[in-house]
């Protein structure tokens, strides 16, 4: 006999745990199922560990440039003498992860009306789920409300010979305790560039293989070029139009030989950062009558409901935004509609994200390219980060800001900041756009000096027609 619940939450990423706790507090008897590590991708192999690595890489970078600030590190020390202990970096990362992961698990296990099940969940019907534990035990659960929050995993391209080599993903690369001598990275987007910079700063030789002709192909070209220039200056090598034709293990070595049109490239490690796959292929969705699209995503409406009554899909699996913050916002949308008697939808959500290279690139709303493609009349303003006092004082003047405004409504269409603390300063735009306030609200705001955000009103003072 199946155990009866009021609600079942499958997966403990950013949406699942807070939703389960809210469901329990509402009086619903709630089951939470996790087959691997509590906290999902972000806590275990995504945001938390990579940003811990970014912090260590930045420390190494600052140490190498300490002399620029009049700081001497040890008598006779040369900038190139800085060394990174990857085993220590990994151990530090593991401590941070463990605290977050354990915190999520204990939160759920002590939440009222919440029961935790460890194992792999598969639908056996529209409102029934079987949980297979690692020890072989099985338990059947049923509930009128089921929430899918199973996240994604790394996509491995179908390159001839890939099954014969050792390759890395964002997960396995974080498990290394010895620095790669030469790391090749397939991909030119967010994950690829973050790992490229951090491992170059750790001391590895890094080559980025980009299928197209520029990195960050979805961004405005001026931003993608600026990011590439910063990483290239730090020693990252870029090869464009470089799509591996095949891969093979190096004789007598643990490395990889990559066949490119330009000739073979021999490296010690190969990282695939070529996209993500939704974890929806082994959930038994067909038994519930839930369809997936060609990419494995589950279709949902603005309230994140699937086509099957009583089943929702949250987080990366629904195609509504593959970011931790969009997943958490999914929780807030479902909770508002289901528990708070409010009406919220993902259809009006303003896209916002950041690429956590150093300095970071942060964006909200439409890009200049998107505005031009839609033929929208607009005002545009740009400003180099060298105008920002905080940037000059810190000796980090790379990058620029850009904002686009609708001249009729005075609403901000979009903005981006590539520069020091841009991932924080962008929230001045996010909040103004969310409030549906005119750009003048931000333009006339008094910001604290000396900060990056204080130059946002000055940026908006320079708005001119987009030509």
Residues marked as catalytic: 449
Q: Are 183 and 192 in contact (CB under 8 A)?
A: no
Contact 157, 128 (CB under 8 A): no
Write out the two tokens for 227.
Answer: 């990011």
> Rounded to an integer, what distance in angstroms lies between the CA atom of residue 2 and that of residue 138?
11
How many Å apart are CA 149 and CA 331, to the nearest integer?
A: 10
Instruction: Please check whether residue 460 is in contact with residue 428, taking contact to mean a CB–CB distance below 8 angstroms.
Output: no
316 is in an annotated binding site: yes
Ligand-binding annotation for 188, yes or no, is yes
Distance CA 382, CA 467 (A): 14
Cα(32)–Cα(19) distance, rounded to whole angstroms? Answer: 10
Judge whether 319 is annotated as a binding position: no
294 is in an annotated binding site: no
Best CA proximity match to 398, nearest among 357, 344, 343: 357
Confirm or deny that 340 is annotated as ligand binding. Answer: no
Tell me if 204 is assigned to a ligand binding site: no
Judging by beta carbons within 10 Å of its beta carbon (0-12, 13-18, 19+), is residue 256 exposed, middle or buried? buried
SS (H, E, C) 305-363: ECCCCCEEECHHHHCCCCCHHHHHHHHHHHHHHHHCCCCCCHHHCCCEEEECCCCCEEE
Residue 370: phi and psi, rounded to 5, are -65, -40
136 is in an annotated binding site: no
Query: Buried b vs exposed e over 155-182: b needs ≥16 C-beta within 10 Å?
Result: beeebebbeebebbbbeebbebeebbeb
Determine if residue 51 is labeled as part of a ligand binding site: yes
192 is in an annotated binding site: yes
The answer to the question of whether 189 is labelled as a binding residue is yes
State yes or no: 444 annotated in a binding site.
no
**DSSP H or E stretch at residue 160:** none
Q: Write out the binding residues for FAD.
A: 51, 316
Q: Write out the binding residues for NAD(+).
A: 187-194, 275
Q: Write out the binding residues.
A: 51, 187-194, 275, 316
């Amino acid at each position: 006999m199946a155990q009866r619940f009021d609600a079942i939450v499958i997966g403990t990423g950013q949406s699942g745990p807070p939703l389960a706790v809210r469901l329990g507090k509402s009086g619903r008897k709630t089951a939470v199922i996790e087959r691997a590590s509590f906290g999902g991708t972000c806590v275990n192999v995504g945001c938390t560990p990579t940003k811990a690595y970014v912090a260590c890489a930045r420390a190494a970078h600052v140490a190498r440039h300490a002399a620029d600030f009049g700081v001497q590190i040890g008598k006779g020390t040369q900038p190139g003498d800085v060394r990174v202990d990857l085993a220590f970096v990994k151990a530090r990362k593991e401590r941070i992860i463990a605290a977050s992961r354990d915190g999520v698990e204990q939160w759920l296990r002590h939440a009222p009306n919440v029961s935790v099940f460890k194992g792999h969940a598969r639908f056996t019907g529209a409102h029934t789920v079987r949980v297979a534990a690692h020890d072989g035990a099985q338990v059947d659960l049923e509930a009128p409300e089921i929430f899918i929050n199973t996240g994604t995993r790394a996509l491995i391209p179908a390159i001839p010979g890939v099954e014969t080599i050792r390759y890395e993903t964002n997960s396995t690369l974080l498990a290394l305790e010895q620095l790669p001598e030469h790391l090749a990275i397939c991909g030119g987007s967010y994950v690829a560039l973050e790992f490229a910079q951090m491992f170059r700063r750790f001391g590895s030789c890094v080559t980025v293989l980009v299928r197209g002709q520029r990195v960050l192909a979805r961004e405005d070209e001026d931003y993608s070029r600026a990011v590439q220039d910063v990483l290239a200056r730090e020693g990252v090598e870029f090869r464009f139009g470089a799509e591996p034709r095949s891969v093979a293990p190096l004789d007598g070595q643990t490395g990889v030989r990559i066949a490119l049109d330009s000739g073979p490239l021999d490296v010690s490690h190969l990282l695939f950062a070529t996209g993500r796959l939704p974890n929806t292929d082994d959930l038994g969705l067909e038994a519930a009558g839930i369809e997936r699209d060609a990419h494995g995503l589950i279709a949902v409406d603005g309230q994140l409901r699937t086509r099957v009554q009583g089943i929702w899909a949250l987080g990366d699996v629904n195609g509504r935004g593959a970011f931790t913050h969009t997943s958490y916002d999914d929780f807030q949308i479902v909770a508002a509609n289901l528990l708070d008697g409010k009406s919220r939808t993902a259809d009006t959500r303003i896209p916002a994200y950041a690429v956590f290279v150093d300095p970071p690139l942060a964006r909200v709303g439409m890009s200049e390219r998107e505005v031009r493609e839609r033929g929208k009349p607009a005002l545009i303003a740009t400003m180099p980060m060298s105008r920002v006092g905080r940037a000059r004082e810190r000796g980090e003047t790379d990058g620029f800001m850009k904002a686009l405004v609708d001249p009729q409504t005075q609403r901000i269409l979009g903005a981006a900041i590539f520069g020091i603390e841009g991932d924080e300063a962008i929230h001045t735009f996010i909040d103004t756009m969310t409030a549906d306030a005119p750009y003048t609200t931000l333009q006339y705001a008094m910001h604290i000096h000396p900060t990056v955000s204080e130059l946002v009103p000055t940026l908006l003072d320079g708005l001119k027609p987009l030509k």
